[in-house]
Chains A and B, each alone.
Chain A
């Protein structure tokens, strides 16, 4: 059984088809990179997998840990261990990170049949995970993402990932808007969380993130399909030559 298996996935937003027969298989321990030109469907893929209501799946199947992922409501996908680090983390005014995370962690625990964490256990967990991404305590007490800088938002995403301890994480352009230091902190955080029992999908345009979070498998997504899959060496090739040669290879 694969951790994630996507077969012939077609998905649309409104009348526009974005994913046009995507196939992808991910196993435990793997780190995949998905690259591709703007508008190729990278963010759509992460949105569809996590159950964003704006997208409709018109064809195909997705299995996560052997279960039909597409039948699960978005919150159940999360509780099953699927995590998305948002490209644009959402602000929720008036809701503190502490309350937000506590609600999330306890929902996950309830799903696993565990008792909710009490306040001191929870705060201890927060402290521990915060340290992974060097997230300031002040940020944890502020409203969710409100007034966070670009870098803080991304660190906050990885902090949440550490808190929820997912089996499969999708990092959607987590490197965008990060300076070199923040990039290092975020990547180190991701690497510390990663284990041979988990998998990660890194969506990015640039090599610099992949130098830190090193993928074993690299895909190129183009016009809603995965058109090329190779090893890490593909990253350097894309960085050097862009995407035109692939388009030519494919005869576009």
Chain B
């Protein structure tokens, strides 16, 4: 059969190379493969954790053993051998005692990724503080001291367990309990590192806080855990970025992010997820199975999730909002791009419990190649939630004719004062638009970049400036070679 020019080009030009696929040559301390109570105890011991945390892990592990892998998502997940994964890998540094000194190899790695670990000048206002996590441990957290002067705690979760045990104990598992789901239970059992943020009452965090996750070691899983607590009248904008080396074998990443927002506080959480997506034939890539949830606990609490998902072989992720406080607000802005053989099943849950609660969902899916891209979202209005409002907009953009876009909206209304709106569109990238660009001298690749960024603009505009520029580039790169 003769191929259409479209198909021909899709097959020919898959030049969208993954730019972060290098490996850092550093000695890594790993524990033996496999998962058992022993391994859970070993991880806890390595991190010198208190008894209550070990108990937390063991409870989660025992519960996880009773569960089966969920199959409801529109995903084709190859069977994962949990005994074949290494659950703890830590880059070895010469000076374990002296935490101030970081291995130059690690510095280089993060520098190469565009993540500076040196505190440059006094960038406190308008700069970004970074917690850099490689494999199972946090390598360095910058601007910690400056932030501490404002009472802000920003450190790795391991450190928080030691330094602020009461806060961690109070909130850990309070938003995503270990019984929540299969991957959450697994994470609770074996979580390694991640970030902890506490913004005290009335404090507006003067800089962006960010965590950069890097998988480096072979055959490991990354199980990070982030906990953010914003006390009354506080504000923080938090960014998360992720990359991994190019490897033939898939690696598991099962994270939990919990956010607690108190009265009149606001948290903005932005993610640019660029885990290695696998090669163009679908070999390798990260399995990104993540539970993210925010509890808007008080009156007028507000949270805003913004995500740009371009990486991972499989994404299973639903950053959600529990709107418990009256007049609390939840927002979800998402761009999910899938190309080649990538699969994504992503969306959100908006659970309205308080009165006059409001939620907004804007989801932009972009599918190319042979990928499958699903939006899955739940809007639930409890009987207690008088005058709840939701507006959902789910758009899908298709490129070529071998990919799929799916929308699974669930609506569950138990209060008849609720106003819930759902809009959805599906479009194909338009030949006339491409031709118009070409007639002005713009190449197909660049035209696709322009059109896609235009389509996703509403979401990209929600990202902090530097991130938005990064995300725009990423969108174009991820789709290189996807349209004829």
Tell me the A residues contacting B by CB distance below 8 Å: 50-54, 73-75, 77-79, 83-84, 86, 89-95, 99-101, 103-104, 107-108, 111, 143-144, 160, 164
Q: Mark B210-236, 1 if CB is under 8 A from A, else 0.
A: 000000000000000000000000000
Known contacts A53-B5, A75-B443; A103/B450 CB under 8 A: yes
Q: What are the 3 tightest A-B residue pairs by CB atom distance, in nearest-first order?
A: A94-B454, A95-B454, A78-B441
Question: What are 26 inter-chain pairs, A to B, with CB distance below 8 A?
Answer: A53-B5, A54-B431, A73-B438, A74-B435, A75-B443, A75-B444, A86-B436, A86-B439, A89-B436, A90-B432, A90-B435, A91-B433, A92-B436, A92-B451, A94-B453, A94-B455, A95-B453, A95-B454, A104-B437, A104-B440, A104-B442, A107-B446, A143-B454, A144-B436, A160-B440, A164-B440
Confirm or deny: B457 has a beta carbon within 8 angstroms of a beta carbon on chain A: yes
B443 touches A95 (CB 8 A): no
Distance in Å from the Cβ of A37 to the closest Cβ of chain B?
25
A92 touches B433 (CB 8 A): yes
Cα(A51)–Cα(B431), bound, Å? 12
Known contacts A90-B433, A94-B453, A95-B454; A84/B439 CB under 8 A: yes
B440 touches A78 (CB 8 A): yes
Distance in Å from the Cβ of A164 to the closest Cβ of chain B?
7
Known contacts A75-B443, A92-B433, A93-B455; A99/B450 CB under 8 A: yes
Distance in Å from the Cβ of B439 to the closest Cβ of chain A?
5
Residue of B at shortest CB range from A82? B439
Cα(A99)–Cα(B476), bound, Å? 15
Q: Quick one: which of B448-464 are within 8 Å of A by CB?
A: 450-451, 453-458
| Inter-chain pairs besides A94-B458, A111-B441, 15 sampled, C-beta below 8 Å | A52-B435, A53-B435, A74-B439, A75-B437, A86-B439, A90-B430, A90-B435, A94-B455, A94-B456, A94-B457, A95-B450, A100-B440, A100-B442, A104-B442, A107-B443
Residue of A at shortest CB range from B449? A103
Which of A52, A95, A99, A104 contacts B441, CB < 8 Å?
Answer: A104
Distance in Å from the Cβ of A43 to the closest Cβ of chain B?
13
B443 touches A90 (CB 8 A): no
B438 touches A78 (CB 8 A): yes
Distance in Å from the Cβ of B55 to the closest Cβ of chain A?
51
Scoring A101, A111, A144 by chain B CB atoms within 10 A of each residue's CB, the highest score goes to: A144
Q: Interface residue tally of chain B, by bracket? A: 20 to 34
Tell me the B residues contacting A by CB distance below 8 Å: 5, 430-433, 435-444, 446, 450-451, 453-458
Scoring B454, B455, B457 by chain A CB atoms within 10 A of each residue's CB, the highest score goes to: B454
Scoring B438, B439, B458 by chain A CB atoms within 10 A of each residue's CB, the highest score goes to: B439
Residues in A whose Cβ lies below 8 Å from that of B453: 94-95
Residue of A at shortest CB range from B457? A94
Residues in A whose Cβ lies below 8 Å from that of B441: 75, 78-79, 104, 107-108, 111, 164
Scoring B440, B443, B450, B455 by chain A CB atoms within 10 A of each residue's CB, the highest score goes to: B440
Residues in B whose Cβ lies below 8 Å from that of A143: 454
Residue of A at shortest CB range from B6? A53
Residues in B whose Cβ lies below 8 Å from that of A79: 441
Residues in A whose Cβ lies below 8 Å from that of B456: 94
Residue of A at shortest CB range from B434? A53
Residue of A at shortest CB range from B460? A94
Known contacts A75-B443, A94-B457, A111-B441; A100/B432 CB under 8 A: no
A75 touches B438 (CB 8 A): yes
Residue of A at shortest CB range from B455? A94
Residue of B at shortest CB range from A92? B433
A103 touches B438 (CB 8 A): no
Known contacts A53-B5, A95-B450, A100-B450; A90/B442 CB under 8 A: no
Residue of A at shortest CB range from B454? A94
Residues in B whose Cβ lies below 8 Å from that of A92: 433, 436-437, 450-451, 454
Distance in Å from the Cβ of B237 to the closest Cβ of chain A?
24
Distance in Å from the Cβ of A102 to the closest Cβ of chain B?
10
Cα(A111)–Cα(B446), bound, Å? 15
Residue of B at shortest CB range from A105? B441
Residue of B at shortest CB range from A83? B439
Cα(A144)–Cα(B453), bound, Å? 13
Residues in A whose Cβ lies below 8 Å from that of B457: 94
Residues in A whose Cβ lies below 8 Å from that of B442: 75, 100, 103-104, 107
Residues in B whose Cβ lies below 8 Å from that of A104: 437, 440-442
Scoring A50, A77, A78, A160 by chain B CB atoms within 10 A of each residue's CB, the highest score goes to: A78
Residues in B whose Cβ lies below 8 Å from that of A51: 438-439
Which of B430, B438, B451, B458 contacts A74, CB < 8 Å?
Answer: B438
Residue of A at shortest CB range from B450? A95
Residue of A at shortest CB range from B444? A75
B439 touches A50 (CB 8 A): yes
Residues in A whose Cβ lies below 8 Å from that of B437: 75, 92, 100, 103-104
Residue of B at shortest CB range from A88? B432
Cα(A108)–Cα(B437), bound, Å? 12
Scoring A52, A92, A99, A160 by chain B CB atoms within 10 A of each residue's CB, the highest score goes to: A92
Distance in Å from the Cβ of A88 to the closest Cβ of chain B?
8
Cα(A143)–Cα(B454), bound, Å? 9
Residue of A at shortest CB range from B430? A90
Residue of B at shortest CB range from A91? B433
Residue of A at shortest CB range from B443? A75
Cα(A100)–Cα(B441), bound, Å? 11
Residues in B whose Cβ lies below 8 Å from that of A164: 440-441
Cα(A117)–Cα(B433), bound, Å? 25
Distance in Å from the Cβ of B127 to the closest Cβ of chain A?
24
Residue of B at shortest CB range from A109? B441
Cα(A77)–Cα(B443), bound, Å? 11
Residues in B whose Cβ lies below 8 Å from that of A111: 441
Residue of B at shortest CB range from A146? B454
Cα(A100)–Cα(B440), bound, Å? 9
Known contacts A75-B444, A103-B450, A107-B443; A90/B438 CB under 8 A: no
Residue of B at shortest CB range from A51? B438
